[in-house]
Structure 1
Amino acid sequence: MTSFETIRLIHTVLNLYYIEKMKQAEIAECLSLSLAKVNRLLQQAVDLGYIEFVIRTPFQNLFTLEERLKAIFGLQEAIVVPEIGGTSNLLLNSIGTAAATFLLEHLRDGDTLAITPGTTVQAVVRSIEAARPYNVVVVPILGSVQGEIESDMNYLATQMGERLGGKAYQLHAPAFADTQEAAEMLRSMEPVKKILEIGRNATVALLGIGTVDPQASRFVQFTALSAEEMKNIAEGCGGVGEISAHVYNIDGQPCAKDYADRVIGLSLKEIHKIPYRIGVAGSAAKALPIYGALKGGYLHALITDETAALGVLEIFDGKFHNHKN
């Protein structure tokens, strides 16, 4: 048991070190102690629980969300940007900037970067400001969707390649075919097979996470899928989100197989084999799709916003509570 005299001495040393900001050598001289003795007393204070460290940095709540996401879903990295009022473009730019910085920190010369379409991926591409050329290859892992040229799959791949100073491939095929037979024929074409094989050998993937909500999904706008078909995917098949046009349920399991068979691109199983996968998505509407993607283990890293992160954790807490009951 630590004596009263020792505790008093420890208290004196702690005050001089942490409050008065004295150096250990100065404390030793002031109290006629050896430097080693002061060091031991400080360590003893830690061991006995006399010191409580509290970190109060700005945005501490966001860092706490990041740690929870990593702990619950086994992520290697999570970045949560602050909630931003105003237009959705402000949110996209915020996530895009954070994701672009993260991507540049993790890319290495010789990497093959697989990318999917989407407005958030587009925001990442716009935010890339490489300080040096990267000797990388950029490859799309999904065919093109009709719509604005800025969000076209091949345009995004080309722009990403140019901004990184690397090389970009293009996949000249639609994202969806009218029938399974047509999709199989397209996937068997040599130029398409070549690009998809490059995608399978990618080392890093930048993945947009989409919703299957008929009111919000961009695939309703740019494909032959009707709002009724999207409703069936969500309600009839239990779909909650999509990565590279492949739909999964709340547990991250692939679903809507008839729909998936019409996709010209890598499957979820093939995407899962890419060594490092970065997911980007934000807003309250993306909470459920992100949750499903995390449950499916499709991501090593997630860059999102505060609203989506809170939504994901709320879903987890709700399911955990129901499971306990």
Structure 2
Amino acid sequence: MREILDIQKQLLPDLTEVMKKRYTILHHIMVSGLIGRRTLAGIMKTTERILRGEVDFLKEQGLLEVESSGMRISEAGRQLLERIEPLVKDLFGLTDLEERISRQFGLKQVVIVPGDSDVSQHTKKELGRAGATLLRKLVNKDEVIAVTGGSTMAQVAEHLTSSTSMKGCWFVPARGGLGESVELQANTIASTMAKRTGAEYRLLHVPDHLGEEAYQSLIQDKMIRELLDFIRKARIVVHGIGDAMVMARRRNVDPETTSSLQEKGALAEAFSYYFDKRGNIIHKMPTLGLRIEDIQSMDAVIGIAGGRSKGEAIASVLRFGHEDALVTDEAAALEILKYGSS
């Protein structure tokens, strides 16, 4: 396939560009669900006049359905996108990026979507779609799946659908709740994932950031202990990756601890652990949820994060060495390779 692509790029470069453009239009519409032409033209930074010609062509091919309220992809269009995705990844150069990151960090699987989720909500939605697709492939029946919170994880939840592979599964929060929007809490995301897939869920109604005294008190509670034992049965964890200082602010970490994190070179946060650029754990928040020994014994640890600004943080967590799979975007991938080789 790559040889044919190389020949096509040399002999028919215009055809390659047309294919990329039409794929991008179809892909935007698929991820959006229903979208108006003016909105799509704005996202793609083109004019409605230019877009109209492409939309008319795709409609004639039976790949789009145009309604008064907007455009949506047809089933034929959805099937076409699935079939040509590997080809398009080669066209965008993403396959090579995936292979390089996989080799560098010893990952079993890397999935990269085009764009930069720092500047494009569409790219963040696509991260969610790709994360949901990967999770469906890895899950077996009757699994316990732990999930963290955050905006990217919320997108993963939105793109999950009912699946026979998730029959008998349980979704659980990997940790307690942060002081943020309810829809971004791990509890909410676990329950949304369960409802969208027909699975079950259990919730952990405790704050994520606990003082030592509160932590010791809660850990003695019989119901809390029973729930934690259930959460620690998880064989799959799906988690986001955050910038260390951003996460410290979201947790309202005290100034002394924040200064200590800065002095130790904290770059990234994942499942309540803070990592430096070498992937060393330099701080653990007292929190109820998964412990590092639970994560190390998992069958699949899936990190999902994107955006150029998070590239160095993602590389830091990958250096920790316990990720099995990564879903990220093109902008973050380029930064990961840059920081991963330094």
TM-score by length of 2: 0.69
Question: CA separation in 2, counterparts of 1:96 and 1:282?
Answer: 10
Q: Which runs of 4+ in 1 moved over 6 A?
A: none
SS of the residue aligned with 2:172? strand
Residue 292 of structure 1: aligned partner: 316
Question: CA separation in 1, counterparts of 2:118 and 2:294?
Answer: 38
- In structure 2, do the counterparts of structure 1 residues 172 and 88 end up closer, same or farther at CA, with 3 Å as the change threshold? same
Question: CA separation in 1, counterparts of 2:238 and 2:225?
Answer: 21
SS of the residue aligned with 1:255? strand
Q: Does 1:174 align with 2:202?
A: no
Residue 66 of structure 1: aligned partner: 98
Task: Give me the CA root mean square deviation.
Answer: 2.0
Matching of residues 153-164 of structure 1 within 5 Å: 153-164=186-197
Question: CA separation in 2, counterparts of 1:269 and 1:195?
Answer: 17
Q: Does 1:220 align with 2:268?
A: no
Question: CA separation in 2, counterparts of 1:109 and 1:73?
Answer: 29
Once the two structures are superposed, what CA deviation does each residue of 1:267-325 show, in whole Å capped at 9, x if it has no partner? Answer: 223222211111100001211221111111121000000111110100122x2xxxxxx
Question: CA separation in 2, counterparts of 1:120 and 1:230?
Answer: 27
Matching residue's letter, 1:256:
H
- In structure 2, do the counterparts of structure 1 residues 86 and 264 end up closer, same or farther at CA, with 3 Å as the change threshold? closer
Residue 145 of structure 1: aligned partner: 178
User: Please, which moves more after superposition, 264-273 or 297-306?
Assistant: 264-273
How far residue 131 of structure 1 moved from its aligned partner, in angstroms, is: 4.2
How far residue 256 of structure 1 moved from its aligned partner, in angstroms, is: 2.2
How far residue 174 of structure 1 moved from its aligned partner, in angstroms, is: 0.7
CA contact (8 A) 2:118 2:306 kept: no
CA contact (8 A) 1:246 1:267 kept: no
Q: Does 1:281 align with 2:305?
A: yes
Question: CA separation in 1, counterparts of 2:296 and 2:269?
Answer: 13
Residue 201 of structure 1: aligned partner: 233
How far residue 172 of structure 1 moved from its aligned partner, in angstroms, is: 1.4
Question: CA separation in 2, counterparts of 1:233 and 1:163?
Answer: 41
Residue 310 of structure 1: aligned partner: 334
- In structure 2, do the counterparts of structure 1 residues 269 and 255 end up closer, same or farther at CA, with 3 Å as the change threshold? farther
SS of the residue aligned with 1:59? helix
Question: CA separation in 2, counterparts of 1:283 and 1:184?
Answer: 37
Unpaired stretches in structure 2, ≥5 consecutive residues: 1-85
- In structure 2, do the counterparts of structure 1 residues 206 and 308 end up closer, same or farther at CA, with 3 Å as the change threshold? same
- In structure 2, do the counterparts of structure 1 residues 192 and 85 end up closer, same or farther at CA, with 3 Å as the change threshold? closer
Matching residue's letter, 2:249:
V
CA contact (8 A) 1:220 1:230 kept: no
Residue 296 of structure 2: aligned partner: 272
Matching residue's letter, 1:276:
A
TM-score by length of 1: 0.73
| Structure 2 counterpart of 1:192, from 221, 224, 227 | 224
Residue 130 of structure 1: aligned partner: 162
Question: CA separation in 2, counterparts of 1:150 and 1:90?
Answer: 19
- In structure 2, do the counterparts of structure 1 residues 229 and 265 end up closer, same or farther at CA, with 3 Å as the change threshold? farther
Aligned residues: 254
Once the two structures are superposed, what CA deviation does each residue of 1:73-113 show, in whole Å capped at 9, x if it has no partner? Answer: 11000001001588442221010001111111111111110
CA contact (8 A) 2:237 2:298 kept: yes
How far residue 70 of structure 1 moved from its aligned partner, in angstroms, is: 1.0
Q: Does 1:110 align with 2:152?
A: no
Question: CA separation in 2, counterparts of 1:130 and 1:152?
Answer: 22
Matching of residues 77-88 of structure 1 within 5 Å: 77-84=109-116, 87-88=119-120
How far residue 195 of structure 1 moved from its aligned partner, in angstroms, is: 2.1
Question: CA separation in 2, counterparts of 1:174 and 1:225?
Answer: 13
CA contact (8 A) 1:243 1:268 kept: no
SS of the residue aligned with 1:194? helix
